[in-house]
Amino acid sequence: MLGLMVLALVACSPGAPKGVDKATLDDAVSTAIGDPATCLLIGEAKSGRVVYRYNTNVACGRELPACEGAATRTTGELLKAVARDGKARMQSCDTLADGSRGVGWAAGPIAGRPLVYAAMMEGARAFPGRMMAERLERAFKKAGL
C-alpha cells in the first residue's frame, strides 16, 4: 500500500522540460543550490505552468519575506509573476530580525527556451539572489537547458 502511495505522489510531480533528463537536471541543481530548504520551479513562459520542481511541495509552498517591503510570497507566486512579465529578479533579505537566517530569491527567463524559473533558498547559509541566479544559469547549461 505504501508503495502505491509513493508511486501516486511521484506520478503527480512534474518531470523535466522536454529534451532534458530529469536526473541530470536534479544533479546540476543540487550541486548549484541544493539544500533541504531550497526550491526551484521551472514553468512555461506564457502560462507559468510548472514543468519541473526541485524539492517538495512543502519546501516550495513556504511563504517567506519577498524582500520588497513587508510583502511575503511563495516560489510559485514568483514563478507566475515572471511568466507574466518576463523580468528577472534577484533579491535577498533576513527572515529573522536578528539576521541569523535569510532568504534568497532568483527568477527569470531561461535563455533560448520558452521557459522561466523561480528559486528560493532560506536558512542560516542561504545564498544571495544574484549568486543563486549565476549558479542556476551554469546548472541549466550543464543539464542541457
Q: Would you say 93 and 70 are in contact if contact means Cβ atoms under 8 Å apart?
A: no
**What's the pLDDT at 19?**
84
pLDDT at res. 54: 96
> pTM for the full model?
0.89
- Give the pLDDT score at 18: 85
Per run of 10 residues, the mean pLDDT along the chain (length 145 residues) is: 38 76 94 92 96 94 94 97 96 94 97 96 95 97 94
Q: Indicate the Cα dihedral angle 78, 110, 39, 44, nearest 10°.
A: 60
- What ranges in the chain are assigned the alpha helix state H? 2-12, 22-33, 57-60, 75-85, 129-142
| 113 closest CA partner among 49, 28, 37, 19 | 19
Q: What is the grid cell recorded at 118? A: 523561480
* CATH numeric code, 15-142: 3.30.450
DSSP state for residue 128 in the 8-state scheme:
P
